Chain A
């Protein structure tokens, strides 16, 4: 057991640190601000071009063939430099790699990884949230193309996306999980309309709703076989649930560090409960940091992604919400009197964590039945 860098890891960390000293962008405390989302693409390509993105992915698609533990180094150094986290794409890369054929992988992975082509994920619908398999968007074969009709919601980056990884019903006559297929759909076409959703913290650049009105996609853009859509969706969500994939540890540490600086600058101005909230957020964030190190180390054995991602997602949610509450506690009256207060935004944003990527209730169902083996009723 060793939490320390190997020589290769230390060398990598040194290069990254030097690069960050020159290039860390002056972005806001990350995803709580529209400016962050507006400039996220720029940050992605800067990281990629410098060789610090997609470390564990295959070199032939633009990655570096490194063990996933290198992502821990990226997250630590980004946090230390106060830089934004790395963009969250791992789950899309895994979904396309696992289920796409060679042509699909060659066509789409390099652009996705380099950030030259932006993607969104068209899964949830107004009437298909936790019960994702109930989705009603249809894809109907018409010659060499599928015609798509339906309505997607909570679609991250739909405003800037070039492509959408879309889950649609291709066979209405089989059980609901079996009739779904996945597609890479070009977003820039007349049949697709995107409208932003304004979230509770006021930001408008993260989520959108997308309507498909006789939109078209080439049949060869199907990812996986017809009917493989549910399995692809499960691959994606199980990866989406792991904090190691998302790089969120960096974001939490950055926020906690800022809160600590605020208190340390004038300790007598803060009550014991405010100090407690900050210290607890620190403890939770450190826990997640070592938990991610442990999970990514287990990957060295080739451990498969599975229901364990639900444990990680629940831990991550608790951490994010502890950090959000600490921000609110430190900000005290400011959060109530100033609509632009950063702590207010951090706190409000944290409430989404127990919903996005599968609600905490769904994660607990998965842990109870698939990990603890409790009986289903």
Chain B
């Protein structure tokens, strides 16, 4: 066992953090700068990060869950307003179905955002949600049951009934309305199996967990800096033990979350599908709870200004809300883990 980054992973971590820090938003106002936003999207695309889970010449993913999580963590830390996990997860799903992925899709989720949208032809009976979609998203993937597995289908984004804005100011959630036609994609080489879905869910859980770890690190950095600068009673507020203890607790939560999220990202490609998904559930349960506490602490330590739109702390909190919900929040994961480990509450299954 050696859980350290390989030299390549360490280099990816450095370069992803550098890129996200340099082009990501430094202020809330930066979010309204279309030039910077486009430059960030182009940089992420040019780095090849959206295709990390596409097929290599042997049909395996180009990179492991660990590399994908390293990028997710870096983008979360900078509250980078760029689609990453959505397109990457679409690529992973396309690889499993054996189709070529054009890089413009996102997977659609059911209404609770806690899993893939599994729908029936010929049209959506309820809305589906494309999370973390590209600006020029063409279509969202949904799954249509067939035999012992699923076929990949798409719903076109022209049927979206919103502009993509939700709680998170950095990533889009497009709601595709009921009634949108469900078009099964032609020439799929394989059915997507339940094992595929378990692994894919494991990846989604690992990526959202890693994003939350990044969010925690990023928001703590700015909050510690603020507590060091901001003076009251003639001294920095960060010199007060009450404030220090809040920040120390938050830092520990972030470190614990980092450890459990690393394991989940490794598990994606190294444990049997159901075990990888369980590892993801453990990580997500811990990271979602930790991130909520850490972001709330950040808002608190920023005081009055922390409750204003212009303070970037809420951008982190808002991003944490979406990353927590996507693939299921802590309560969802705990319920699923209970089912796996304790049996159904009624003892029947």
Contacts and interface: CB of A to CB of B under 8 A. Distances in A.
Interface of A: 1-6, 9, 69, 72-73, 260, 263-264, 266-268, 270, 272, 275-276, 278-280, 282-284, 286-288, 290-291, 293-295, 297-298, 300-301, 311, 314-315, 318, 361, 363-365, 367-369, 371-377
A268 B1 contact: no
A278 B249 contact: no
Residue picked from B240, B256, B343, most chain A C-beta under 10 Å: B256
Given A275-B342, A284-B286, A293-B3, A3 B266 contact: yes
A365 to B, nearest CB: 7
B224 A372 contact: yes
Nearest to B331: A276
B228 A374 contact: yes
A278 B286 CA distance: 14
Contact of B4 (A291, A301, A374): A301
Contacts of B43: none
Contacts of B248: 314, 363-365, 367-368, 371-372
Given A270-B342, A367-B248, 13 more contacts: A1-B3, A1-B66, A2-B266, A270-B345, A275-B345, A280-B285, A291-B259, A300-B4, A314-B249, A315-B252, A365-B244, A365-B245, A373-B228
A298 B4 contact: yes
A351 to B, nearest CB: 18
Contacts, number: 169
Nearest to B345: A267
A372 B247 contact: yes
8 contacts: A2-B1, A263-B342, A264-B342, A267-B345, A294-B262, A301-B4, A369-B244, A372-B224
Contacts of A295: 259
Contact of B334 (A2, A283, A287, A369): A283
B245 A267 contact: no
B240 A377 contact: yes
Residues of B contacting A: mostly: helix
A323 B235 CA distance: 40
B114 to A, nearest CB: 17
A101 B239 CA distance: 40
* 7 nearest CB pairs, A to B: A368-B244, A291-B259, A367-B248, A364-B248, A290-B263, A377-B239, A267-B347
B343 A311 contact: no
A4 B1 contact: yes
B263 A311 contact: no
Contacts of A286: 260, 282
B57 interface: no
B239 A294 contact: no
Contacts of B227: 374
Interface of B: 1-6, 9, 66, 224, 227-228, 235-236, 238-241, 243-245, 247-249, 251-252, 255-260, 262-263, 265-267, 270, 282, 285-286, 333-334, 337-338, 341-347
A365 B241 CA distance: 7
B255 A287 contact: no
Residues of A contacting B: mostly: helix
A309 to B, nearest CB: 12
Given A1-B266, A69-B1, A287 B282 contact: yes
A287 B1 contact: no
B166 to A, nearest CB: 27
A264 to B, nearest CB: 5
A297 B247 CA distance: 26
A311 B1 contact: no
A73 B2 CA distance: 12
Nearest to B4: A297
A2 B341 CA distance: 25
Contacts of A364: 244-245, 248-249
Residue picked from A4, A371, A372, most chain B C-beta under 10 Å: A372
Given A260-B341, A276-B334, A297-B1, A291 B260 contact: yes
Contacts of A280: 285, 334
